[in-house]
């Protein structure tokens, strides 16, 4: 459940983060050589190991997890 802001609406570069990440609405986060804007916040949404989560569209999540930025070694 989103407690502040809104859900992801754009096709790319927007994220929703749990409050425990310390991120703020409107904050820019640089991940995998792209800038993402925090558009929404959740409360008590954690992964199976109790780490706070960040939500992104599937294509963005793939880029964050698997793309290497410029200068990365293979």
User: How would DSSP label each residue in the chain?
Assistant: -EEEE----SSSSEEEEEGGG---TT-EEEETTEEEEEEEEESS-B-TTS-B-EEE-HHHHHHHHHPPPTT---
d(CA 52, CA 37): 17
pLDDT of residue 73: 52
pLDDT of residue 67: 74
Instruction: Write out the chain's pLDDT in tens, 74 residues.
Output: 999 999 999 999 999 999 999 999 999 999 988 999 999 999 988 888 889 999 999 999 998 888 765 555 54
d(CA 45, CA 72): 31
pLDDT of residue 32: 87
């Amino acid at each position: 459940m989103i407690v502040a802001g809104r859900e992801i609406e754009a096709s790319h570069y927007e994220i929703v983060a749990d409050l425990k990440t310390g991120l703020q609405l409107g904050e820019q986060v640089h991940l995998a050589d792209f800038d993402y804007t925090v558009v929404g916040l959740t409360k008590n949404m954690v992964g199976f190991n109790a780490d706070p989560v960040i939500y992104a569209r599937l294509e963005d999540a793939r880029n964050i997890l698997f793309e290497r930025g410029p200068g990365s070694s293979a």
